[in-house]
Amino acid sequence: MIITTYAQGLAQLTVASESYSYELDLQVVTKVWRGGCIIRAALLEDFRKAYAANPDLRNILLDSAIAHKLLSTQASLREVLKDAIANGIPVPGYVNALSYFDAYRSEKLPTNIIQAQRDYFGAHTYERIDQEGIFHTLWH
């Protein structure tokens, strides 16, 4: 799941580049990282190839070869995490990586609890998926 960790970082660079007009070329970024003294992961060459083939790639997870690698290894990671959690072994980085992957490919996310908390504590209102409009509840 190291792929998803890289995906999060590269996605942040994409947003930062757009927000601050950095004009980053992620193919070059991954090439520089690959040649660096710390990161040097062979996986970065796969990323470089993906960005070379599609410079406008919004997220590395959208590349078919990268997606295939993730899909083919996710079951193993889920088993490892299940065992770690069942045995009280903290693995927050791995859990976060898997959660990012699951959230990224989900059409609908369970963020309703966050909306409810924001409305309860600050009357920020919320939207619903079953009907149009903006709502506020008087929470008791």
Architecture of domain 110-140: Up-down Bundle (1.20)
| pLDDT for res 26 | 96
Task: Kindly report the pTM of this predicted structure.
Answer: 0.77
Supply 96's token pair.
């976060």
pLDDT band at 6 (very low <50, low <70, confident <90, very high): very high
| pLDDT for res 115 | 87
8-state DSSP, 136: -
Q: Pick from 59, 54, 53, 55: which is nearest to 5 by CA?
A: 59
Tell me phi and psi for residue 127, to 5 degrees. -110, 160
Residues of the chain with CATH 1.10.1040.10: 2-104
Is the pLDDT confidence value at 38 over 90? no
Distance CA 83, CA 136 (A): 41
Distance CA 103, CA 114 (A): 15
The fraction of the chain above a pLDDT of 90, given in percent, is 78
Distance CA 9, CA 114 (A): 24
pLDDT band at 93 (very low <50, low <70, confident <90, very high): very high
Fold of 2-104: N-(1-d-carboxylethyl)-l-norvaline Dehydrogenase; domain 2 (1.10.1040)
Residues of the chain with CATH 1.20.5.320: 110-140
Q: Average of pLDDT values for 78-103? A: 96
Q: Average of pLDDT values for 46-62? A: 96
| pLDDT for res 99 | 93
Is the pLDDT confidence value at 37 over 80? no
